[in-house]
Structure 1
Amino acid sequence: MRIQRKEMGGEMLFGVDIGGSHIRVGRVVAERVVQRTEKAVGKSPDTVAQQIASALAELGASGTVHLGIGCAGRICPQTGKVLFSPNLGWRDVDLAAEVERATQKTGLQLLVTMENDVNAAVWGEFRCGAGKGKRNIAAVFVGTGIGGGLVIEGKLVRGASGGGAEVGHAPFAAGGARCVCGRRGCFEAYAGGWAVEAHYEKMTGKRLKASEIWTRRREDPSAAKVWRQAIEALAHLLLTLSAIVDVEMVVLGGGIVERCEGLADEVASAYRDLVGDGWRAADVAIAKLTRDATLVGAALLAL
């Protein structure tokens, strides 16, 4: 296996997952995370770079290190710069260069690859998760927001400026609910975790987590209505993906899918009801790598 050969040759493989609130670093061997560390993410690029350098030292990095960094936001496919990361408040940040500076005195030979965090997660699921063995998959990750990714004919789709497969911000309802991106009617504005919570609070005056609203849906009409709306939006999102790219499989993942037992099945059922006669429904599978998807995918992209 390729990763094992790299390790046997004295080279090491690491993945980094930078989200809005956390940073996770893991050593990857044979397509799985064998060591990991996690902490609250710093605010400035140089602080995050120092955190990565510290984590590499903690995990025993030495010699030649292939480092894949999955970062929330738009990543330029040509330069690897973070063009815009709203969660981190970054614009035009060369994080790879910052990490190289932070590790200058460590003796590491660092080879850094930058990628959007969701793209990295999709690649992980494609290579060694739910999509293994397929050539064409889409992935939809439902957490606080909605992220997505595409692998077509075995290649990751990034788009011209790093914004490929931002499915959460495709239109669902023209002139509909306001999204955090500034537009109206996005899928995320109906089915993202923040949206489920906001719609429920508007109806009841109560602020609950999306997973709590899910568990109340059997006896709480407001909870049921909010989640019916979210499931309808997600089913239409899967239908849109199927119509445009005709994938073999759609992988559903993210914190909301993991915490809301049965949600993926209900979305899959609603999607199949929409497909109609004469059309092929894509297989729908739950992500297998869960929280390690970005770490593994980013690491594999660094090879």
Structure 2
Amino acid sequence: MGLTIGIDVGGTKIAAGVVGTDGTIGARAHRDTPATSVDETARAICDAAAELIAQYEVEAVGIGAAGFVSSDRSTVLFAPNLAWRDEPLGRRVADVLQVPVVVENDANAAAWGEFAFGAAKDVEHMVCVTVGTGIGGGVVIDGELLRGAHGVAAELGHMRVVPGGHRCGCGARGCLEQYASGSALVREGRAQAESGSLAAAQMLSVCGITDPAELTGPMITQAASAGDPCAVELLDDLGRWLGEGLASFATLFDPSTIVIGGGVSAAKELLVKSAQVAFEKNLPARANRPHPRFGLAQLGNDAGIIGAADLARRPAPAQADVAPPAAPAPAETAPSQAPGAAAEQPR
């Protein structure tokens, strides 16, 4: 398959691009996201894609959407920041554009972009975790994206790490997202500043503000990069929580590579170093097992577009435990195949 379109649907902006088989983005299109209206959001997606289809011969469209996406990669079951509830987004967009459309969780799409063309392009087993306002990510095992029986696997930020801990937006308490995300970083920074800490007051001065309510994650990251002790400590704490979570992910999935992306990854070694120290400390049987390598994401904000476009080239996997299997072909018409042989599955 040749050119495809990848679309990254965020809470405020829709970003689309024409992507080649080598992962490069050609033309781009952008629209605002009318997040409160299902119909207007679908129209904005179609409008952005149609702008690109008018310029290029496109064979399929991939949409990355924040939320739970069904295993057939067509329906958005739930989206936390948009009005989608059991929304048949793939069918609606395909009916308008008259090209095949697949829908994927946006974090999965970004993880696939890093796997196929970015920091993990040379491996078959990887975990990608994106540390931004929240925590997202995706898991690739044996070169296949992990989706689960119902399409909602690998919600990495919602693994519980503190029973009875901070309330999460998902409704549970103690999710990793509440301790290792940009939101957690800001919460802790503001709390220190409001407590009257002299170190935190110095951090606010470095950030050029006096009101703790004005403190943001990028400000803390920039202050840490400038050597501010309080900001460095805040990032170190976040890295420790992240490393503990990554040790659990490695125990579950045994990846050869762990990729860290998202806005907070701009801190680079300030974050990765503390995460690796905590990872090594908490990895079970650490002296008797291979350890994954750590890497920073390479595709930035384009990962979702690139990943969604590449996934549009790949048919949805069979879901035998969700849909009933098709009736077997009669023996006399079944194609012959050597015992144990399998069709080659290109990456």
Shared fold (TM-score, shorter chain, > 0.5) = yes
The AA in structure 2 aligned to 1:66 is A
Q: 1:283 maps to what in 2?
A: 293
Q: How far 1:100 sits from its partner (Å)?
A: 3.0
What SS does structure 2 have at the residue aligned with 1:181?
A: coil
> What letter is aligned with 2:75?
K
- 8 Å contact kept, 2:161–2:174: yes
Shift of 1:237: 1.2
What SS is found at the alignment partner of 1:293? helix
In structure 2, the gaps of 5 or more residues are 195-211, 314-347
Q: TM-score scaled to structure 2, two decimals?
A: 0.77
Match of 1:294 among 290, 296, 304: 304
Provide the residue aligned with 1:258 in structure 2: 266
Q: 2:3 matched to 1:16?
A: no
Query: 1:131 aligned to 2:131?
Result: no
User: Which residue does 1:54 correspond to in 2?
Assistant: 47
Paired with 1:79 and 1:247, the residues of 2 have a C-alpha distance of 25
Q: CA deviation at 1:296?
A: 1.0
Distance in 2 of aligned mates of 1:227 and 1:134 = 29
Select the residue among 91, 95, 98 that pairs with 2:89.
95
**Distance in 2 between the 1:79 and 1:239 partners?**
30
CA distance in 2, matches of 1:16, 1:78: 18
Letter in 1 for 2:234: V
Distance 1:220 1:267 in 2: 18
Report the count of equivalent residues: 288
Query: What secondary structure, in the 3-state scheme, does the structure 1 residue paired with 2:175 have?
Result: coil
- Cα 1:154–1:270 change in 2 (3 A) is same
TM-score by length of structure 1 reads 0.88
- In proportion to residue count, which structure has more strand? 1
Distance 1:45 1:261, change over 3 A: farther
**Superposition pairs for residues 141-290 of structure 1, below 5 Å?**
141-205=130-194, 206-207=212-213, 208-217=215-224, 218-221=227-230, 223-258=231-266, 262-275=270-283, 276-290=286-300
Equivalent position to 1:72, from 66, 82, 88: 66
Q: Is this contact kept in 2: 1:73–1:83, CA < 8 A?
A: yes
Q: What's the RMSD between the two structures over aligned residues?
A: 2.0
CA distance in 1, matches of 2:228, 2:5: 46
How far apart are 1:243 and its partner, in Å? 1.0
1:256 shift after superposition = 1.6
Q: Retained in 1: the 8 A contact 2:14–2:30?
A: yes
Q: Which moved more, 1:274-283 or 1:166-175?
A: 274-283
2:102: which partner in 1? 113
Q: Residues 100 and 110 of structure 1 are in contact (CA less than 8 Å); yes or no, is this contact kept in structure 2?
A: yes
Structure 2 CA distance, aligned partners of 1:292 and 1:40?
17
Q: CA deviation at 1:78?
A: 2.6
Q: Give, in angstroms, the shift of residue 54 of structure 1.
A: 2.1
Give 1:3's aligned residue: none
After superposing on structure 2, the runs of 4+ consecutive aligned residues of structure 1 that deviate more than 4 Å are 61-64
Larger Rg: 2
- Deviation, 1:98, is 2.4
> Structure 1, unaligned stretches of length 5 or more?
1-5, 104-108
**Preserved CA contact (<8 Å) 2:71 2:147:** yes
- The letter of the residue matching 1:226 is L
Deviation by residue 1:223-261 (Cα, 9 ceiling, x = unmatched): 444333211110011101111111100111112213666
The 8 Å contact of residues 140 and 148 in structure 1, kept in 2 or not, is answered as yes
In structure 2, C-alpha distance between the alignment counterparts of 1:164 and 1:270, rounded to whole Å: 25
| CA apart distance, 1:20 | 1.8
Secondary structure of residue in 1 paired with 2:157: helix
Instruction: Give yes or no for contact 1:45–1:95 (8 Å, CA) kept in 2.
Output: no
SS in 2 for 1:35: strand
Report the CA distance shift for 1:48/1:89 in structure 2 as closer, same or farther (over 3 A). closer
Task: Name which of structure 1's ranges 261-270 and 238-247 shifts more when overlaid on structure 2.
Answer: 261-270
- Which stretch has the larger CA shift, 230-239 or 34-43? 34-43
SS of residue in 2 equivalent to 1:263: helix
Distance 1:64 1:37, change over 3 A: closer
Shift of 1:287: 0.9
